[in-house]
Amino acid sequence: MNILLTGGLGFIGSHTATVLAAEGHEIVIIDNLSNSQRQTLDSLEVITGKKLPFYEGDIRDVPLLKEILKKHHIECVIHFAGLKSVAESGIDPLKYFDNNVSGSISLIEAMQAEGVKKLIFSSSATVYGVPQYLPYDEEHPLAPMNVYGRTKLQVEEILQDLSKSDPDWSIVCLRYFNPIGAHESGLIGELPQGVPNNLMPYICQVVSGKLPYLNIFGDDYDTKDGTGERDYIHVMDLAEGHAAALAFTNATKGWEAINLGTGNPYSVYDLISAFEKSANQAIPRVVKERRSGDLPIYYAKAGKAKQCLNWQAKRGLQLMCDSSWKYQKLLADAF
Ligand SMILES: NC(=O)c1ccc[n+]([C@@H]2O[C@H](COP(=O)([O-])OP(=O)(O)OC[C@H]3O[C@@H](n4cnc5c(N)ncnc54)[C@H](O)[C@@H]3O)[C@@H](O)[C@H]2O)c1
């Protein structure tokens, strides 16, 4: 199929591109490079052995989107483009509503105008909010605790209304848990701009000497070792989940929300120990106060993905850490 990836040079989009290209799909990418780098395109071309059409552009540019959809005979869009910092979304909410919500509306307008009605949307476990029960299943109440999560929920709702208004649409909202890890080649991985917000890129920067120590925000939660627990999922498993979702959109119409997680929570200390094993060195750490807005623990009920997509995560925590470390070392060698 001919598939457009918005935000396809970012962390999850680039890994998904490798899986879809290996399955023989034709990939086109649009990305405004606000949180990615053009060199990722070169790495993708090395991995896939293909020249990938790339547009440096913004999803809020409807005429450009229409032109791309028409020129490349696009049949499905996987919509990764979005801003993802919870902290920044609270400081600059309009930026997040404009980019994530208005941007999605522009994309949908262009798709509708060109008759492209298959869409896979990058949603997030943040749509659930404070757990009423765990694991979160897709029927869990939706009450995001931050602006970022509200932008994701608003887009999900717009897409659901769209599908009710026009039954020709086939839409899957994938609610990701906590993707980490890197492609097995070590050529692509997570490359955040500035000081990382997430645990894994932060650990990578501590181990490679760019940051002095790791902050652990709270070790007195009611969890197995006192630190926060999350459902970390290997980004290649997540990427394969998109290939499965693509097959699902071809076979069905309507709107679905589906969790992509492993169903297994790991603590901050689990992740640190596994990474220390990968890098064969100790990670300096300092325990700080809990951060407001952090949940002690959450993880996915992964059954709907298995049932609807015939997909489940298969890579474990050690492989997540080994692949991140391999990417980090190649990155350090390159500079
Ligand atoms: N990484 C996670 O932990 C996580 C978890 C849940 C959901 N998500 C969602 O998945 C999607 C992909 O996440 P990621 O981790 O790959 O993030 P990322 O920042 O690495 O990738 C997003 C890409 O979109 C591009 N982009 C942003 N706004 C754009 C716009 N207006 N026009 C064109 N390009 C634009 C960025 O340059 C970047 O390359 C995002 O929508 C994110 O909110 C991510």
User: From the CB of 231, is ligand 1 less than 6 Å away?
Assistant: no
How far, rounded to the nearest angstrom, does the alpha carbon of residue 13 sit from its chain's CA centroid? Answer: 8
**Cβ of 127 less than 6 Å from ligand 1:** no
Tell me the pLDDT tens digit for each residue of 133-158.
Answer: 999 999 999 999 999 999 999 999 99
Between CA 197 and CA 175 the distance in angstroms is: 19
Is the CB of residue 10 below 6 angstroms from any atom belonging to ligand 1?
yes
pLDDT at res. 318:
98
Q: What value does the mean pLDDT of the chain take?
A: 96
User: Rounded to the nearest 10 degrees, how much is the dihedral formed by the CA atoms of 57, 324, 235, 284?
Assistant: -100
Q: Which atom of ligand 1 is nearest to the CA of 84?
A: 43
List of the chain residues with pLDDT < 70: 334-335
pLDDT value of position 62:
98
- Dist. CA 214 → ligand 1 center (Å): 24
* CA 202–ligand 1 middle distance (angstroms): 18
Give the residue whose CA is nearest to atom 13 of ligand 1: 12
User: HSE of 88 in the Cβ direction (CA atoms, 13 Å)?
Assistant: 13
Residue 191's pLDDT is 82
Q: Quote the strand ranges of 107-146, DSSP E.
A: 118-124
Alpha helices (H) along 23-123: 39-48, 62-71, 86-91, 93-96, 103-114
Residue 321 has a pLDDT of 97
Is 18's C-beta closer than 6 angstroms to any atom of ligand 1? no
Residue nearest to atom 7 of ligand 1 (CA): 124
In the residue annotation, 148 being an active-site residue is answered as: yes
C-beta 7 within 6 A of ligand 1: yes
Distance CA(196)–CA(90), nearest Å, equals 17
Q: What is the pLDDT of residue 13?
A: 98
Kindly state the tokens that stand for 334: 């390159």
Pick the residue whose CA is nearest to atom 10 on ligand 1. 122
Q: Which residue has the tokens 């941007």?
A: 103
144 upstream amide cis, omega within 30 of 0: no
| Sequence spans of domains, the chain | 2-182+232-263+299-314
Distance CA 134, CA 295 (A): 12
Closest C-alpha residue for ligand 1 atom 32: 58
| Domain 2-182+232-263+299-314 class, CATH top level | alpha beta
Q: Which of 9, 11, 107 to mutate to test the pocket of ligand 1 (most atoms within 8 A of CB)?
A: 11
User: Which of 80, 198, 234 to mutate for ligand 1's pocket (most ligand atoms within 8 Å of CB)?
Assistant: 80
Please identify which of the residues 148, 176, 202, 327 carries the catalytic annotation: 148
